[in-house]
Amino acid sequence: MTDTTPGRRGGRQLPTAEELRTWRGFIETTAALSSRLESRLQGDSALSTGDYAVLLALSEAQGQAMRSSELASHIGWERSRLSHHLGRMERRGLIRRQECATVPRGAEVLLTKVGADAFAGATVPHLRAIRELFVDALTPDQIVAAGEIATALRARLDTLGKG
Amino acid sequence: MTDTTPGRRGGRQLPTAEELRTWRGFIETTAALSSRLESRLQGDSALSTGDYAVLLALSEAQGQAMRSSELASHIGWERSRLSHHLGRMERRGLIRRQECATVPRGAEVLLTKVGADAFAGATVPHLRAIRELFVDALTPDQIVAAGEIATALRARLDTLGKG
DNA sequence: TTAGCATCATTGACACGTCAACCGGTAGGA
DNA sequence: TCCTACCGGTTGACGTGTCAATGATGCTAA
């Protein structure tokens, strides 16, 4: 394992072999974690994490309803993505869409009973899975460190922008 | 924000509100990081990270060729996923598939010149993006901590198995 | 007034992943 | 021998995500 130290010249260099190993472990493990959580949720409640995010937002909204674009920005999705997803959720009866009374071109998304029940049944197993797969896997110090790492990475993403 | 401490009874409890905040920040940020890296790679080289993984494996293999199932296990993919992906890569001329001479029912995957060139052009920008978005975002201590967190999470995933 | 222009939402085309079914061939055991 | 079971690989159906284009509707400025 020859050392590929880029070092010197303080400029824009490539990662070292060690940094790359850490990177791969980190990104692959977090992906695996997401995917495991997804399949746990699916198995426990027949919902995807996307469904869960939508249902969570709607169940917390007053009237259990939100405008489509409001919902999109609340959960941080592109409108196109939300529109596709709502179409699938509507086919399964989890939500309903209707024209918004107040805003002419607006669409109002409503939580149905089926959706509310599905969400109610999903939340405890989902939180339990988060506890088992994340919280219980780490020491308290590591949880704090994970939070700080996420904050630092997020800051970097934000400052670099889409570039 | 009422404290939802589960604590006591040392049993299988739900995460606290604080743990949940950390969890959300962590999982959403790592997802955003993956997605940003994906779009950087796409913009720099018209390759996806999936393409990159396949091309990396093939370019390191002797003869720049591998059996399909060997490739699948090397990069940790299900065979079905690889088969679909190879179909798309083959349409773009990045790889070629042919019957394996030695193993009757085996398929051999070959790196084409187009694929090798695409990979060669992609690697430096990709490594640079990893440096900018991950390595440079964290302190050396945080990189070490990230590695340890990944190891701990991975261990947890492995011990829990598919359950 | 009307020609742009931004905004809200949907749509279509396509890439990507998973799951389950399938096919062809090889290997064991009745 | 024949039946079965596995193995390598492909396929189809479907959920999911992005991008670019399209409607439909208001706002604004010549």
Question: Average pLDDT, whole number, for chain B?
Answer: 91
Res A44 pLDDT > 50: yes
Res A2 pLDDT > 50: no
Q: What is the pLDDT of residues A71-115, one digit of tens each?
A: 999 999 999 999 999 999 999 999 999 987 676 667 899 999 999
Over residues A29-44, mean pLDDT: 96
How does residue B163 score in pLDDT terms, banded at 50, 70 and 90?
low
Structure token pair of residue A70: 């409001």
Over residues B138-155, mean pLDDT: 98
Which residues from the 23-82 window of protein chain B have CB within 7 angstroms of nucleic acid chain D?
A: 35, 39, 67-70, 72, 79-80, 82
Distance CA A34, CA A57 (A): 20
**Of A122, A119, A131, residue with least CA distance to B6:** A131
Protein-covered nucleotides of chain C (CB closer than 7 Å) are: 7-13, 15-21, 24-26
Indicate the class that CATH gives domain A35-160.
mainly alpha
What's the fold here for domain B45-160?
A: Arc Repressor Mutant, subunit A (1.10.10)
Q: Where are the alpha helices (H) located in chain A, listed in sequence order?
A: 17-45, 49-60, 68-75, 79-91, 113-133, 140-160
Res A140 pLDDT > 50: yes
Q: What is the pLDDT of residues B8-47, one digit of tens each?
A: 444 568 999 999 999 999 999 999 999 999 999 999 999 9
